[in-house]
Structure 1
């Protein structure tokens, strides 16, 4: 059971060139989310949804991990199974930095899923509506992304590690997307110390026992260094 559970949001990847959900002028402000990030939107216009995610996939492929991602990978290398990263991000920057114990609760841009049989596979750079599933051949390929109105992935495992954690850390999240926004309350009820690392206050900052604010590339490595010393690494 992980002793440290870390939740990461878009703020940890912002300095790698991937805009946060609510960036002014960012990609999300240019689209109607109901049209490109819901099952209903995909059913109505799958080509539009695929084009949107093809663009996001290309953008993410150009990004590289920043100091915050690398710092968490260093912490995982020392902690091993005592650390678990839960991310709301659909990019692969944690893995690119060397982290291996990562649950993508909202899916991943570089994965595809069959809406007919549920099979998943590595997504090509460009996906289209008539792409056949490699398992069942149905032309029902969709991004392996959790859309609004769908259940996030790994929830049973996440609840389990939250109940057993001694430290819960939230990095770069807005605190406005549930169920992730409630993780701090669950961890607190289970007796964990709670820490928020963020550029600015989130919607749930008051729920944390400790808060540090600043750029992720500065405050995350600093916290990791402190944690490694504190634990004798």
Structure 2
């Protein structure tokens, strides 16, 4: 199968990767926000920044939720909504198809919470969401263990619905048909109604606790079951390759997975739009750095295995 050119990337690098990938039996991917860039999603800090005059990083804590659950749910409802408006891009579909073809030989460690990889059909047993998902919810009652996965309701409760811009005559006309233009509620100048705690998502199991987003907040431990699954795969034998996609892998645990994979014999393939974003320990002989958009790069890199990728429209 002849290698197709990718703008800005050396043809010999594509060809050498194509020679290598068919012989790989155990492969890891470490995924960051850059995977979803072509889907139009900003990074967490890009989404947040100063969100309605609140630092997004300060909203992503258990303490913030305890102090003002309505504000935190507004923020996460907004993020859920924006991610649902986005579509998985060719990189998501390429990784999903590769995972299916590898039949357990390919595991992905995703730092993303946007739900785009699951929506692309990535097999859940081989996709490890170390930071959780915007579309999982769990009860905050200490004595309740309720968790719901894959709740894509938008909004999750009516009180969190996005308002229409009633100052816009076209929106007022559209109200009759319920086709309203949504406001950017990240803008603090947009007036929002107060939300009573009774109108926030509540646990259907214990009927007492508030539900919260199933993401890992600052100050919380990463999920033991997810970390154990990743470690079990890494420790099960040699690793041929780790693909570092859309992330600098500079913080724990991301950095450790590159190091662990190298210790198991893995070569490293970086796919990143930042040419200076090298993996921990830098580039080694035999590694690849594909400087480009994952949505354009990955379908071609994986073509010897997945063939010509068909992306739903």
Q: TM-score, normalised by structure 2?
A: 0.66
Going from structure 1 to structure 2, the CA distance change for 1:3 and 1:156 (only over 3 Å counts) comes to same
Match runs of 1:173-212 below 5 Å: 173-200=247-274, 201-202=276-277, 204=279, 206-209=281-284, 210=287, 211-212=289-290
Secondary structure of 1:86's partner?
A: strand
Residue 15 of structure 1, aligned match among 34, 38, 48? 38
**What secondary structure, in the 3-state scheme, does the structure 2 residue paired with 1:52 have?**
helix
Higher Cα radius of gyration: 2
Equivalent position SS for 1:54: helix
Q: Is residue 29 of structure 1 aligned with residue 54 of structure 2?
A: no
Counterpart mapping for 1:7-156 below 5 A: 7-22=30-45, 26-31=46-51, 32-100=55-123, 101-116=126-141, 117-121=144-148, 122-123=150-151, 124-127=153-156, 129-130=197-198, 131-153=201-223, 154-156=226-228
Q: Contact 2:50–2:56 at 8 Å: present in 1 too?
A: no
Q: 1:228 to 1:207 in 2, by over 3 A?
A: farther
Query: CA RMSD for the aligned pairs?
Result: 2.1
Give distance in 2, aligned partners of 1:203 and 1:83.
Answer: 22
Count of residues paired in the alignment: 225
Moved more, 205-214 or 110-119: 205-214
SS in 2 for 1:170: strand
Range with bigger deviation, 147-156 or 159-168: 159-168
Q: Which runs of 5+ in 2 are unaligned?
A: 1-24, 158-196, 308-313
Distance 1:59 1:39 in 2: 23
- CA deviation string 1:107-162 (max 9, x = no partner): 11111111222311143423574432122112321000001111223111112223
Name stretches of at least 5 consecutive residues in structure 1 with no aligned partner: none
Q: CA deviation at 1:227?
A: 5.7
